Amino acid sequence: MSWTDIARNGRILIVDDAMENIQVLNQALEAEHDVLFAMNGARAIDIAHNQRPDVILLDAMMPDMDGYAVCQALRTSSVTSNIPIIFVTSLFSPEDETRALDAGAADFITKPVNAAVVRARVRTQLTVKRQSDVLRELTLTDGLTGVSNRRGFDEALEREWRRSARAGTPLSLLLIDIDFFKRYNDEYGHQAGDTCLQEVAAAMRRAAARPQDVVARYGGEEFAVLLTDGPPGAETVARKLIEQVDLLAIPHAKSDAKPFVSVSIGIAAQVPEGPDGAGELIRRADAQLYRAKAQGRNRYCMDE
């Protein structure tokens, strides 16, 4: 697939307080893209957070919250900061264009719009966005196991914490440790240890297989699974995870838990309140992981 093909089939958010302007832009884009629209700044920010458009076409002059304020709000959020924003406005002075670019816009189109120009500018920004997404994905992925790395996990936790806080929905964290992994490496060698990490990570992906589930290598032989679920859902995933690792049947002669590779899991869950507090969720899950190890490993323990 070429980058020209990738520049089509994007999700485009049009933000304008005049329906006739939205209709003009929609007619220019609907043949190649999935088009969303909002008629005020607050609604645009909400859609951007929940539906993650690939490109935003934003009117500068709107009542209550103008395009510059919307652009700045989107740029300060980790969820929306990478979405290209094209200002579409009747303002045309160099000062207006400079103000839009300073606010974080990627491009600037003046009204009345030319449909061919709109399509070309959107394709350009969509191509840049998707190239950037590919590179970003590489920086957030653990090279050995293929799951998210610690940086990817930290970003996902911040994003999901804020989303759950806004929605008032629960968030669960599982911290997982491969039992007696240092002994495994000493007995079978580091190459076998790397293979073991890969197979366990794949088992975790099978246990937490929904698109919204985040599986990450937290460090060394420790993994994390982030779920948009309450305690019952987290407990179900923990049981599946232990079952999937059991099915691997990887021999581990030096384990005190069982003669095969096993895992211990600590679970914590809560409904986030406010933008901060994710560190406390990690601390509680880690305390439960310690408890699972103290009770003999090859099990999960859940925060009460």
What CA–CA distance (Å, rounded) separates 123 from 5? Answer: 10
Whether residue 233 has pLDDT greater than 80 = yes
**Which residues form the catalytic set?**
221
pLDDT reported for residue 240: 97
Contacts of 242 (CB under 8 A, 6+ apart): 262, 263, 265, 298, 299, 300
Q: In CATH terms, are 3-138 and 150-302 the same topology?
A: no
pLDDT reported for residue 79: 80
List the CATH code of the domain at 3-138: 3.40.50.2300
pLDDT reported for residue 61: 87
pLDDT reported for residue 4: 52
What CA–CA distance (Å, rounded) separates 269 from 1? Answer: 41
**Using 50, 70 and 90 to split pLDDT, how confident is the model at 9?**
confident
**How large a percentage of the chain has pLDDT more than 90?**
70
List the CATH code of the domain at 150-302: 3.30.70.270
**Three-class SS state of 44:** helix
Give the up-direction half-sphere exposure of residue 174: CA atoms within 13 A in the CB hemisphere.
34
pLDDT reported for residue 277: 81
Q: Average pLDDT for residues 215-221, to the nearest whole number?
A: 95
Identify the burial level of 130 via C-beta atoms within 10 angstroms of its C-beta, where 0-12 means exposed, 13-18 middle and 19 or more buried: middle
In 3D space, the residue among 71, 26, 84 whose CA is nearest the CA of residue 44 turns out to be 71
pLDDT reported for residue 7: 58
CB-CB contact of 49 with 163 (8 Å):
yes
Whether residue 234 has pLDDT greater than 90 = yes
CA dihedral 120, 121, 122, 128 (to 10 degrees): 110
pLDDT reported for residue 2: 52
pTM of the model as a whole: 0.68
Q: Which residues pair with 62 in a beta bridge?
A: none
Tokens 């670019």, residue located? 101
Q: Where are the domains of the chain?
A: 3-138, 150-302
pLDDT reported for residue 16: 94
What CA–CA distance (Å, rounded) separates 263 from 241? Answer: 9
Q: Would you state the structure tokens that stand for residue 208, as one six-digit string?
A: 């937490």
Q: For residue range 90-101, what is the model confidence (pLDDT) as tens digits?
A: 877 778 778 888
Whether residue 252 has pLDDT greater than 90 = yes
**Using 50, 70 and 90 to split pLDDT, how confident is the model at 262?**
very high
What CA–CA distance (Å, rounded) separates 241 from 267? Answer: 12
Q: For residue range 26-61, what is the model confidence (pLDDT) as tens digits?
A: 999 999 999 999 999 999 999 999 899 999 999 988
Instruction: Give the mean pLDDT of the chain.
Output: 91
User: Amino acid identity, residue 280?
Assistant: E
